[in-house]
Amino acid sequence: MTKQLERILQEIQATAGLIREDDAAQLVNRILEAKKIFGACAGRSGFTAKLFAMRMIHADLEPYVVGETYANTEEGDLLIVGSGSGETKSLVAMAEEAKSIGANVAAVTIFLRSICVP
C-alpha cells in the first residue's frame, strides 16, 4: 500500500510542477470574475470536476457540472473544460458553443495547444 501511495504522490507532484503560475492565476481571476462557472469533463476528470464544484460552492461561487445540473450558459460565464487529450469531441463542441454565445472558456489539459479552446 505504501508503494502505491508514494507513486500517487509522485505523479501529483510531477503534474503540479507542470502548472505555470501565470496560467493558474489567470484561471483563478476568470473564476472570480465569472457570473456562473461550468465544469465539463469526461472520464476520470469528471469526478474531479464534481469535487472542484463542491469546493467552489464552499467559496460562495456559483458552479455547475455539465450533465449534473442545468443552467443556461450566458455571456460572461466561464466553462472550464477538463480533457487529458484536449481533443474530446463532445467537450470541443461544448467549448465552441460557449464561445459562440460570449462565454469564456478555459481548458485544463496536458496539451498546451488544446483544440478545446477554439
Domain residue ranges in the chain:
20-108
Query: Could you tell me the CATH superfamily of domain 20-108?
Result: Glucose-6-phosphate isomerase like protein; domain 1 (3.40.50.10490)
* 82-93 pLDDT, tens digit each: 877 777 888 888
* 22-79 pLDDT, tens digit each: 989 999 999 999 999 999 887 777 788 888 999 999 999 989 888 776 667 889 999 9
d(CA 11, CA 53): 23
Confidence of residue 112 (pLDDT cuts 50, 70, 90): low
Name the nearest CA neighbour of 46 among 5, 93, 84, 14: 84
Position 116 pLDDT exceeds 60: no
Confidence of residue 9 (pLDDT cuts 50, 70, 90): very high
Mean pLDDT score, 4-10: 93
Name the nearest CA neighbour of 18 among 111, 117, 115: 111
